[in-house]
Amino acid sequence: MKVLILCTGNSCRSQMAHGFLQSFDPGLTVCSAGTNASGKLSSKAVEVMKEAGIDISHHTSDSVDKYLNDQWDYVITVCGGANETCPAFLGKVKHRLHIGFDDPSHATGTDEFIWSEFIRVRDEIKEAFYNLYIHEIKPQL
Q: Where are the domains of the chain?
A: 2-140
Dihedral sign (CA 38, 40, 43, 48): positive
Q: Domain 2-140: what homologous superfamily?
A: Response regulator (3.40.50.2300)
86 assigned to active site:
yes
31 assigned to active site:
no
Among candidate residues 3, 6, 7, 56, the one labeled active-site is: 7
* Alpha helix positions (H), 6-108: 13-24, 43-51
Please tell me what DSSP assigns to residue 16: H
pTM over 0.85: yes
What's the mean pLDDT in 6-34? 96
12 assigned to active site:
no
Task: Quick: pLDDT tens for 52-97.
Answer: 999 999 999 999 999 989 999 999 999 875 456 666 677 789 999 9
pLDDT value of position 36: 87
Please tell me what DSSP assigns to residue 136: I
Among candidate residues 52, 63, 84, 86, the one labeled active-site is: 86
